[in-house]
Amino acid sequence: MVESSPEVQHGLQDVVALESRICFIDGHQGRLIYDGYDIRDLASKSNFEEVAYLLWYGRLPTGDQLAALRARLVELRQLPAAMAERIDSMPATATPMDVLRTAVSELALFEPEETRPGPSSIGGAQRLTAVLPSILGQFHRRRAGLPPLTTRPDLSHASYLLYALLNRDPSELEGRALDVALILHADHELNASTFAARVTASTLSDLYSAVTSAVGTLKGPLHGGANERVMELLDEIGTPERAEEVVKSKLARHERIMGFGHRVYKVEDPRATILREWSRRIGESKGDLHYYELLRKVEEVVHREKGLYPNVDLYSGSVYTFMGIPHDLFTPVFAASRVAGWTAHVLEEYQDLRLIRPTAKYIGPTDLPYVPIAGRN
């Protein structure tokens, strides 16, 4: 007999695993807080570099501190030559998330001084945040036949990421739109990829290993990639007039409509509220509100039929599409933002280290007799 054990919380739902100062989600009020600051204020008044500083250090930077961080991130954009050659040798048919996972792991070989767990890992946090756009740009440009990447020190982090992927200077509106998207995706408490990073860090493994774990976890379609599925749905629907028919048909077949509902939020995800407006603004700037109008109609039908609210994935894909970002780069762009949060959590884990080791409820037999191989059926 196996002794009785506590009730299993599938997916660890509602299990409080640790304490953290980094992020707070009020699912009933629809609030998202980074280190005490409401996401609405950060999205309207801040920038990604400032938010990264906040997540890493637990406070907003002074003007001099922000300038120093920006200069450091620009300095760290340059890929080691051998790393660039390695990316160029990867199959052009590889998925960008596979390339990103491999490159993050291999980058540790070029930066051994940053692989010692502890406070010095802040150097690795800054390097990974700075270089992820270069990794993505290096791979995408080769497969798309675009000119080689240059580091463009004149561009902000968000604008550099767009330049790396699109080979053009983004407009001021595009740069700000992506800056806001990066802020909104920078952290979200103990989501699957962040938890994976913290589990890895809790073994006293290095920051690069922890972020590799996070990238691999984000690759799974139940975590990253939902905004790609949203865009596929919009292209299937075609026109707002067909939204009702297509969505209700899918719901009748018990198919999931991506971009709706959330494990934590019981009301609308505040990130969706912000990105809805940016979808409209970017669409208007392009003279094309097709996707925005489709999304509004889909949102209306799903809420009426199922009572579900939008999450961050519903509108983010339309913002990226309007800027010309290929769909298979949506999740890597997510990673280029979330790396700030991943690394902040790893640094926090190193400060209060305790091996993360939950317990499983055993449901198998316990008294089977051993049968020699000759007597087995």
Instruction: Supply the range of the domain harboring residue 107.
Output: 20-220+327-351
Q: Which residue of the set 223, 290, 303, 327 is catalytic? A: 223
Mean pLDDT of 200-214: 96
Mean pLDDT of 262-268: 90
Give a yes or no: residue 14 inside a domain.
Answer: no
Whether 176 and 290 map to the same domain: the answer is no
Give a yes or no: residue 1 inside a domain.
Answer: no
pLDDT of residue 192: 94
pLDDT of residue 39: 98
Whether 192 and 318 map to the same domain: the answer is no
Instruction: Give burial (CB, 10 Å; 0-12/13-18/19+) of 183.
Output: buried
Give a yes or no: residue 171 inside a domain.
Answer: yes
Mean pLDDT of 123-141: 97
Residue 2 pLDDT > 70:
no
Q: Which residue of the set 140, 188, 262, 345 is catalytic? A: 262
Whether 317 and 248 map to the same domain: the answer is yes
pTM of the model: 0.93
Can you tell me the distance from the alpha carbon of 194 to that of 338, in angstroms, rounded to the nearest whole number? 9
Mean pLDDT of 329-341: 98
pLDDT of residue 42: 98
Residue 15 pLDDT > 80:
no
Structure tokens that stand for 231 in this block: 């865009």
Structure tokens that stand for 141 in this block: 């440009």
Confidence of residue 164 (pLDDT cuts 50, 70, 90): very high
Confidence of residue 4 (pLDDT cuts 50, 70, 90): low
Give a yes or no: residue 369 inside a domain.
Answer: no
Mean pLDDT of 57-79: 97
How many Å from the N-terminal Cα to the C-terminal Cα in the chain? 26
Mean pLDDT of 318-332: 96
Can you tell me the distance from the alpha carbon of 52 to that of 69, in angstroms, rounded to the nearest whole number? 9
pLDDT of residue 67: 98
Give a yes or no: residue 88 inside a domain.
Answer: yes
Confidence of residue 45 (pLDDT cuts 50, 70, 90): very high
Confidence of residue 353 (pLDDT cuts 50, 70, 90): confident
Can you tell me the distance from the alpha carbon of 200 to that of 189, in angstroms, rounded to the nearest whole number? 16
Residue 150: CATH number of its domain: 1.10.580.10
Confidence of residue 338 (pLDDT cuts 50, 70, 90): very high
Residue 216: CB partners within 8 Å, gap ≥ 6?
Answer: 101, 196
Mean pLDDT of 244-253: 96
pLDDT of residue 373: 96
Residue 172 pLDDT > 90:
yes
Asked if residues 209 and 105 have their Cβ atoms less than 8 Å apart, the reply is yes
Whether 208 and 260 map to the same domain: the answer is no
Per-residue pLDDT tens digits for 278-298: 999 999 999 999 999 999 999
Whether 291 and 164 map to the same domain: the answer is no
Residue 309 pLDDT > 80:
yes
Residue 73: CB partners within 8 Å, gap ≥ 6?
Answer: 49, 126, 129, 130, 157
Whether 31 and 72 map to the same domain: the answer is yes
Determine whether 223 is an active site residue. Answer: yes
Can you tell me the distance from the alpha carbon of 236 to that of 246, in angstroms, rounded to the nearest whole number? 8
Determine whether 262 is an active site residue. Answer: yes
Can you tell me the distance from the alpha carbon of 299 to that of 234, in angstroms, rounded to the nearest whole number? 12
Give a yes or no: residue 7 inside a domain.
Answer: no
pLDDT of residue 53: 98
Whether 176 and 148 map to the same domain: the answer is yes
Give a yes or no: residue 97 inside a domain.
Answer: yes
Determine whether 290 is an active site residue. Answer: no
Please state the domain count of the chain: 2
More confident residue, 40 or 360: 40
Whether 63 and 181 map to the same domain: the answer is yes
Whether 139 and 169 map to the same domain: the answer is yes
Residue 116 pLDDT > 90:
no
Structure tokens that stand for 115 in this block: 């692989």
Q: Say what percent of the chain tops pLDDT 90.
A: 87
More confident residue, 7 or 5: 7
Whether 148 and 34 map to the same domain: the answer is yes
More confident residue, 1 or 137: 137
Structure tokens that stand for 348 in this block: 């926090």
User: Among 152-161, 217-226, 284-293, which stretch is predicted with the lowest mean pLDDT?
Assistant: 217-226
pLDDT of residue 1: 43
Whether 252 and 195 map to the same domain: the answer is no
Count Cβ neighbours within 10 Å for each residue of 285-322 and write b for 16 or more, e otherwise.
ebeebebbbbbbbbbebbeeeeebbbbbbbbbbbbbbb
Whole-number average pLDDT of the chain: 94
Residue 51 pLDDT > 80:
yes
Whether 198 and 55 map to the same domain: the answer is yes
Q: Which residue of the set 157, 269, 313, 345 is catalytic? A: 313
Give a yes or no: residue 5 inside a domain.
Answer: no
Residue 371: CB partners within 8 Å, gap ≥ 6?
Answer: none
pLDDT of residue 74: 97
Residue 315: CATH number of its domain: 1.10.230.10
Beta partners for residue 23, in sequence order:
34
